[in-house]
A and B are shown apart, each in its own frame.
Chain A
Amino acid sequence: MINSIPRKYLFSKGVDQYFTEVYLAYKFVVRFFKEASRPPFHLREIINQCFEIGVKSLPLITLTGFIIGIVFTQQSRPSLSEFGATSWLPSLVSIAIVRALGALVTALICAGKVGSSIGAELGSMKVTEQIEAMEVSAINPFKYLVVTRVIATTITIPVLGLCCGFVALLGSYLNVHSFESTSIVSFFNNGFSTITFIDIFSSLFKSLAYGFTIGIVGCYKGYHAVKGTRGVGRAANQAVVLAMFLIFIEEVVIVQMANWIRYY
Chain B
Amino acid sequence: MNEPKNKRPVIVGLFILTGIFFLIGGILIIGNLHSTFSKKISISTVFDNVNGLQPGNNIWFSGVKIGTVKKIEFFGMSQVKVIMNINNESKQYIRKDAKVKISTDGLIGNKILVIYGGTFSSPEIEEGDTLLNEKILSTEDILNTFQQNNLNVLALTKKLAAGEGTIGKLLNNDSIYYNISETIKSLQKASENAQVLLASLSNFSEKMNTKGTLANDLVTDTSVFYSLKTSVLNFQRISDSATVFVNNLKIATDNTKSPVGILLHDEQTGTDLKTTISNLKTSSEKLDKDLEALQHNFLLRRYFNKEAKKNKKQ
- Chain A residues with CB under 8 Å of chain B are 44, 47-48, 50-51, 54-55, 58, 83, 85, 98, 155-156, 158-160, 162-163, 165-166, 188-189, 192-193, 195-197, 200, 204
Contact = CB atoms under 8 A, between A and B. Distances in A.
Interface centre among A48, A159, A165, A196 (most CB of B within 10 A): A159
11 contacts: A47-B8, A50-B15, A51-B8, A51-B12, A54-B16, A156-B16, A162-B19, A163-B19, A166-B22, A197-B31, A200-B26
A192 B108 contact: no
A192 B18 contact: no
Contact of A197 (B11, B16, B27): B27
B29 A196 contact: no
B22 to A, nearest CB: 4
Contacts of B19: 158-160, 162-163
A159 B15 contact: yes
A44 B7 CA distance: 12
A156 B8 CA distance: 14
Interface of B: 8-9, 11-12, 15-16, 18-20, 22-23, 26-27, 29-31, 33-34, 36, 56, 106, 108
A50 B22 CA distance: 18
B33 A50 contact: no
Q: Which 5 A-B pairs have the closest CB atoms?
A: A159-B19, A162-B22, A50-B12, A51-B8, A162-B19
A48 B5 CA distance: 12
A197 B24 CA distance: 11
Nearest to A155: B16
Given A85-B108, A166-B22, A196-B56, A47 B9 contact: yes
Contacts of B108: 83, 85
A85 to B, nearest CB: 7
Contacts of B27: 197, 200
Contacts of A197: 27, 30-31, 36
A83 to B, nearest CB: 7
A55 B15 contact: yes
A192 B22 contact: no
Contacts of A189: 33
B16 A50 contact: yes
A33 to B, nearest CB: 22
A83 B26 CA distance: 29
Contact of A156 (B9, B15, B22, B31): B15
Contacts of A48: 8
A85 B109 CA distance: 10
Nearest to A58: B15
B148 to A, nearest CB: 27
B63 to A, nearest CB: 15
B211 to A, nearest CB: 72
A160 B108 CA distance: 36
Nearest to B16: A159
A198 to B, nearest CB: 10
Contacts of B18: 159, 162-163
A193 B60 CA distance: 14
A248 to B, nearest CB: 24
A189 B33 CA distance: 7
Nearest to B27: A200
Nearest to A52: B8
Contacts of A98: 26
Contacts of A156: 15-16
Contacts of A162: 18-19, 22-23, 26
Nearest to A158: B19
Contacts of B29: 188, 192
B26 A196 contact: no
Nearest to A166: B22
Given A159-B16, A163-B19, A193 B33 contact: yes
Given A156-B15, A162-B22, A163-B22, 7 more contacts: A55-B12, A83-B108, A155-B16, A159-B16, A163-B18, A192-B30, A200-B26
